[in-house]
A = this chain, B = another copy of it.
Amino acid sequence: MRVTGSKAKVLLIGKTNYTPTFTCDNTSVRSDLAALVHDALANRKLVTRKNHLHQSLQNIASSISGPVAPSFQQLGALPRSLNLPSTVVPSPAAMSMQKRDFSQSSNKSLNINNINPHVKEAKYAVRGELAIKSEQYRAQLAKGEGKDLPFDSVISANIGNPQQLDQKPITFFRQVASLVENPQLLEHGEVLKNGLGYKSDVVERAKALLKDVKSVGAYSQSQGAPRIRQSVADFIERRDGFPADPQNIYLCGGASAGVNALMSVICASPNTGVLVPIPQYPLYTATLSLLNAQVVPYYLKEEDGWSTDVNDMRSALKEAQNKGIDVRAVVVINPGNPTGGSLEAQHIESVLELVAEEKLVMLADEVYQTNVFEGEFQSFKKILRQLQKGDKNKDGKFDNVELASLHSISKGMVGECGHRGGYYEMIGFDPEVVAQIYKFVSIMLCPPVVGQCLVELMVNPPKEGEPSYPQYKEEYDTIFNNLKARAHALYNAFREMEGVECQYPQGSMYLYPTIKLPQKAIDAAKKENKNPDDYYCLRLLDATGICIVPGSGFGQREGSLHFRTTFLAPGTDWVSRISDFHKSFMNEFK
């Protein structure tokens, strides 16, 4: 190694700034040392130890002769600056320490190069480029400016938004909601008389809810209103046959808010890892990006109806652990999004065995628990309680499992996503950790209170014999049967399409077929700098007005291609639009 003139300057943070100047010809050493110092500086804790750090660097400097010769200059209270050789790729944190560059982006304080890098990294394709383009088409058509378009309507099959399509809200739910919104209607008793369709159980329920929350315009407890949580606990007990404690129930503004709270507490450092299924709902990868934690992907078994494969899970876990990643949790989405799969008890059991052995936190996303078309929904809670009581628990290994399971009013036959309601139950969590989750959610005050009321209605709907039951039952069953029928219609259409293979629809609101595209189509995509599945979906949108989401938004095995579509849109016309497009697309690239 020889001394040369090239320099890497780094200023230390503190009242006084120092420049350790590494002067050497070994770019790798120089840049790595610079990066090391950067990363240290990016960490506030070390800043407070500036004097130590400075002393250490001086000591190192004085002990090194010739080959690598840092020198230190005291610069006084100058503004910090950072000049690194071009080979240095500082970390995002270090990047942001550079004096903000006002030359770009028209002199703004914030620009794309200096904002939170973890926000930039986060990907959320469900509402991405294609969705935005489809909204533009919709606006164009609404203005009557779409005469040149090859379609006359936009079909949003990209997002599970039932009431934006044809799903009608359940009457009982909305009648109660209207009364808690306007309790003056309860004062008269008129609502029961004059043909407005309200029945006595609607009035009673509204009164009971108002007794709990006082007003839907008031903040509730951060964790959610107490009697609503009790109602959720009763529902879980009926569903699983095992008791549930309302203290363990946290209401939230949709399952997304619950996932955010749980992940925010779990992810302690950039080294925290969470096992996430591939394919997955991108909330998980996006949240982990925002929290600067690591996605540890495991693959679902497509050929087996997208079931979990505990062997693949285990090897993904081991591989990550060998890399030093602190894997802390496993996400399972059941029924599956985007896959449309539904797990059997045995699959859940093996996941819980892994979780117990490896001391992982189990995150069970069960928001599609009523969208099950084959067999019966099995909750993680029920299977866990069975395991805890059974022979396999001789050594007590299941006793300490930490399970959080999420449910939502957005899906199922409820479909009230605009109301932002949901809950999670935490089982086996350390009370001190729960207290931190409580504090975390209290910073955002409380979940929307009407959403909380709808959670109560979802888990405690009219019962047989009650006045609103017949209508509730009829509406619920109709929605269920329509969803199932459309799932099958779509599935059958996919089976007819060349190069498309689709798993049998078992649950949730989606199908996730695999597509094999001709090489010429793949080449055409490459030419436009797009993934082949992105290209396919974009062409479909441009040709038919149907918006679906490419597999790249959810993850897929290297070399395979998929797309996700909901089966919420009414009618079957749009299904044949897809078939026709597919035929002509395949012909074009034959």
Q: Please, which residues of chain B bring their CB within 8 A of the CB of A63?
A: 1, 64, 66-68
Contacts of A32 in B (CB 8 A): 49, 52-53, 55-57
Any chain B CB within 8 A of the CB of A220?
yes
Q: Among B31, B41, B49, B119, point to the contact of A439 (Cβ < 8 A).
A: B119
State whether A433 touches B115 (Cβ < 8 A): yes
Interface contacts beyond A64-B64, A135-B221, A164-B218: sample of 9 additional A-B pairs, CB < 8 Å, sorted by A: A32-B57, A127-B222, A163-B215, A177-B181, A194-B194, A217-B416, A290-B443, A419-B450, A448-B450
A418 and B359 form a contact (CB under 8 A): no
A308 CB to closest chain B CB, in angstroms? 19
Size of the chain A interface, CB-CB below 8 angstroms? 163
Known contacts A56-B33, A196-B190, A418-B446; is A169 also within 8 Å of B108 by CB? Answer: no
Closest to A445 in B: B256
Q: Mark A321-347, 1 if CB is under 8 A from B, else 0.
A: 111111011000000000000000000
Contact A268 B402 (CB under 8 A): no
Q: Which 6 pairs, one residue from A and one from B, show the smallest C-beta to C-beta distance?
A: A13-B324, A96-B268, A418-B449, A178-B182, A32-B56, A96-B269
CB-CB contacts below 8 Å: A1-33 with B:
1, 11-15, 17, 26, 28-29, 31-33
Of B100, B106, B164, B215, which contacts A326 at CB under 8 A? B100
Chain B contacts for A114, CB-based, 8 A: 268
0/1 interface trace, chain A 201-220, chain B, CB 8 Å (1 if under)? 00000000000011111111
Report yes or no: A59 in contact with B96, Cβ–Cβ below 8 A.
Answer: no
Is A587 located at the chain interface by the 8 A CB criterion? no
Cα–Cα, bound, A217→B411 (Å): 11
Q: Nearest CB to that of A32 among chain B residues? A: B56
Instruction: Identify which of residues 52-97 in chain A touch chain B, using a CB-to-CB cut-off of 8 Å.
Output: 52-53, 55-57, 59-60, 63-64, 66-68, 77, 79-80, 89-97
Cβ of A139 to closest chain B Cβ, rounded Å: 9
- The yes or no answer to A524 lying at the interface (CB within 8 A) is no
A-B contact list, 23 entries, CB within 8 Å = A15-B323, A35-B46, A39-B42, A42-B270, A42-B271, A44-B271, A96-B326, A97-B324, A106-B400, A108-B433, A112-B432, A115-B266, A116-B267, A116-B291, A119-B264, A127-B222, A162-B217, A163-B214, A175-B184, A253-B253, A254-B445, A256-B444, A286-B443
On chain B, the residues within 8 Å of A37 by CB distance are 36
A533 to B465, CA, bound (A): 57
* Nearest CB of B to A271, in Å: 5
Residues of A559-585 at the interface with B, using a CB-CB cut-off of 8 Å, are: none
Beyond A217-B415, A256-B444, whether A323 also contacts B14 by CB under 8 A is: yes
A447 within 8 Å of B (CB atoms): yes
What separation, in Å, do the CA atoms of A321 and B15 have in the docked complex?
9
The listed residue (B36, B95, B268, B429) touching A116 by CB distance below 8 A is B268
Once bound together, how far apart are the Cα atoms of A260 and B443, in whole Å? 10
Q: Contact at B433–A116, with CB atoms within 8 Å? A: no
Whole-angstrom distance between the Cβ of A81 and the nearest chain B Cβ: 10
| A150 CB contacts on chain B under 8 angstroms | none
Name the one of B17, B97, B163 contacting A269, with C-beta atoms under 8 angstroms.
Answer: B97
Query: How far apart are the CA atoms of A14 and B319 in the complex, in Å?
Result: 10
Task: Give the Cβ gap from A352 to chain B, nearest Cβ, in Å.
Answer: 13
Other-chain residue from B15, B91, B182 in contact with A177 (beta carbon distance below 8 A) = B182
